[in-house]
């Protein structure tokens, strides 16, 4: 078991106002990233259409909604628990507005920080205007939230994506998700699927070279997650030093 990066309870919200930008795939990778390090992880799925997160990782995922107060309580009362279980929210576009609106109203981010939880929104940058607007509104509406743009090479590439989704602070350095070769998708799109199992027990039906290629891709994504965690840790250290100096 690897040492924990920090004592913070991780909370990641994979989001985009647009469907089919690789949100659920990243949520799956993130949950397996934690599980692979023997760190407990839980997924929260706003099921839109199958297969969704709960289909891929049924043992680690619960169904969520924010449409009514009971759903909001079930979700946010769990997300606010500083129980060292990494929480990964796969936020469907239909719930995007309501989720962040509730989050703002109940003062979630401030309270979460006090409990040692750093909510991080991983916003998948897509080239459409609605995504850019939603990103800017989120920055304005929840300025205390760590908002990290995710450049998914399979969705948007190039300088324009970077210009349209500017990071707001040092810790929000964009994440770069390399595109997976199209012919490799079919090996990981049939639920249930765990990247942990995939790595430890190579499936028989996949040629070795393709398997290795897929592992390399997975490792590159995990490096991005690890760097993000380190940036958050450095942010904590910096803040703590500043507090000590003042």
Partner 1 sequence: MKPAVILVGADKGGVGKTTVTRTLLDYFVAHNVPTRAFDTESPRGTLKRFHPEVTEVVDVTAIPDQMKIFDTLTDADAKVTVIDVRAGLLSTTLNALRDIGFLDIVKKGQVTFAVFHILGPSIASLDEIAETAAFVGDAKYFLVKNHINNTTFFEWDPATYDSYFHRVKNAVEISVPHLNEMACEQVELSSVPFLTFVANKTAGGDTASNSFVLRGYVRHWLGNVWAEYDRVKLTEISATK
Residue 72 found at the interface with partner 1 (CB under 8 A) = yes
Separation of alpha carbons 149 and 4, rounded Å: 24
Residue 46 found at the interface with partner 1 (CB under 8 A) = no
Cβ contact 44:88 at 8 Å: yes
Q: CB of 65: closest distance to partner 1 in angstroms?
A: 13
Among the listed residues 77, 207, 243, 245, the single contact to partner 1 using CB under 8 A? 77
**Residue among 139, 133, 63 at smallest CA distance from 100:** 139
Nearer to partner 1, 111 or 197 (CB): 111
Residue 107 found at the interface with partner 1 (CB under 8 A) = yes
Q: CB of 142: closest distance to partner 1 in angstroms?
A: 14
DSSP letter (8 states) at residue 124: E
Residue 102 found at the interface with partner 1 (CB under 8 A) = yes
Residue 106 found at the interface with partner 1 (CB under 8 A) = yes
Among the listed residues 46, 108, 135, 198, the single contact to partner 1 using CB under 8 A? 108
Among the listed residues 4, 19, 111, 173, the single contact to partner 1 using CB under 8 A? 111
97: which residues sit within 8 A by CB, 6+ positions away? none
Separation of alpha carbons 165 and 151, rounded Å: 9
Separation of alpha carbons 216 and 136, rounded Å: 33
HSE at residue 204, side-chain half, CA atoms within 13 A, is 0
- Residues forming contacts to partner 1 in the complex (CB under 8 A) are 69-70, 72-73, 76-77, 80, 102, 105-108, 111
């Amino acid at each position: 078991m690897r040492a924990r990066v920090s004592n913070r309870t991780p909370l990641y919200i994979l989001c985009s106002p647009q469907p089919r930008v690789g949100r659920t795939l990243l949520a799956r990778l993130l949950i397996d990233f934690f599980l692979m390090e023997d760190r407990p992880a839980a997924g929260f799925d706003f099921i839109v259409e199958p297969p969704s997160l709960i289909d891929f990782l049924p043992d680690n995922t619960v169904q969520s909604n924010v449409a009514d107060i009971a759903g909001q309580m079930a979700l946010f009362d769990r997300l606010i628990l500083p129980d060292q279980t990494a929480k990964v929210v796969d936020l469907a576009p239909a719930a995007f507005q309501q989720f962040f609106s509730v989050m703002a109203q109940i003062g979630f981010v401030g309270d979460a920080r006090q409990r040692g939880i750093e909510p991080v929104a991983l916003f998948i940058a897509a080239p459409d205007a609605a995504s850019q607007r939603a990103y800017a509104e989120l920055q304005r509406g929840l300025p205390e939230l760590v908002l990290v743009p995710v450049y998914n090479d399979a969705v948007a590439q190039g300088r324009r994506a970077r210009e349209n989704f500017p990071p707001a602070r040092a810790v929000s350095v964009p994440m770069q998700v390399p595109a997976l070769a199209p012919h490799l998708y079919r090996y990981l799109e049939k639920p249930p699927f765990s990247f942990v199992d995939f790595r430890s027990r190579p499936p028989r039906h996949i040629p070795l070279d393709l398997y290795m290629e897929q592992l390399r891709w997975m490792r590159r994504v995990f490096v991005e997650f690890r760097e993000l965690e380190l940036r958050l840790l450095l942010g904590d250290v910096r803040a703590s030093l500043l507090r000590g100096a003042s």
